[in-house]
Amino acid sequence: MEPKFVSNSQESTRMFKSNFLELFSKIHFATPLILFLPVVGFFIYKSVFVFHLALLPIILLIVAGVFIWSLTEYLMHRFLFHYHPTSSFGKRLHFIFHGVHHDYPNDAKRLVMAPAVSIPLAFIYYYSFRFLIGEQFVAPFFSGFVSGYLFYDMTHYAIHHFSFKNGLWMRIKKHHMVHHYKDDHNGYGVSSKFWDIVFRTDFEKIK
C-alpha cells in the first residue's frame, strides 16, 4: 500500500470562520484531566461512602469499566470517526470530528477530545450504563470507564509528541503511526491493539 500524504509539521488549519468556534476547536492536552479526574474521584467516593460497596466489587467494576472503554474506543474510532459520508455536510462534519487529525496529525491542540464532544458523550454513556446495571454499580464502573478514556486521550497525545525508543510504548506508537501514514483502514486501537487482533483489523506486514 502506498504511503498517504499527511502534514509532517506541527502546522494547523482553520476549521471555522467564527473566531469563537475556532477558539473552542483547539484543546490543551491537559483539559480532559482537569474535567474528568474529579469525575473519577466523585464516583469512587460514592462507591465507598454512599453505596458502601466492598473493595473487591469496586475493583472488579473499575476493571470492567476500563475494559468496556477499550472496546468503545475501538468501535468509535472504526465506525464513527472513520465513517465516510457522501454528502457535503457529512464530509464537513467528518473533517471536524476526525479528518482534520489525519490531515494534521501533529497539531498539538487537536489531539484530545474537545469538551463539546466528550461532555455530552459522558452523559449519554453514564445514563446508558446506569439503566443497564443500576445506580449503585455504575459508580465504580463509570470511574473505570472514564479512567480508560483519560488513558486513551493522554496516550494519543504522547504517541504523537513524545519520543519512545523501545518497549511497549514504542510498539503502541508504531501501531498508530502505521494507521496514520500507511493504512487508515486498519489499526483502530490507539491505547492498545487488543481489539484490532480480536476483530482482525491489525496490520499485515507492510513493506
Give the separation between CA 193 and CA 176, rounded to whole angstroms. 9
Tens of pLDDT, residues 25-37: 778 889 999 999 9
Q: Give the other-Cβ count within 10 Å of 81's Cβ.
A: 15
Distance of CA 42 to the CA centre of its chain: 21
Domain assignment present for 55? yes
Tens of pLDDT, residues 114-131: 888 899 999 999 999 999
Percent of the chain scored above 90 by pLDDT? 55
Domain assignment present for 92? yes
Domain assignment present for 125? yes
Tens of pLDDT, residues 33-92: 999 999 999 999 999 999 999 999 999 999 999 999 999 999 999 998 888 888 887 877
Domain assignment present for 132? yes
61-202-159-115 Cα dihedral, nearest 10 degrees: -50
Give the separation between CA 185 and CA 175, rounded to whole angstroms. 13
Within 8 A by CB and 6+ apart from 75, the residues are none
Domain assignment present for 72? yes
The counts of H helices and E strands in the chain are 9, 0
Q: In the structure, what pLDDT confidence band is assigned to residue 205 with cuts at 50, 70 and 90?
A: low
Domain assignment present for 158? yes
Domain count, the chain: 1
Domain assignment present for 174? no
Query: Residue 97 belongs to what domain range?
Result: 29-168
Domain assignment present for 8? no
pTM equals 0.88
The residue whose grid cell reads 479526574 is: 37
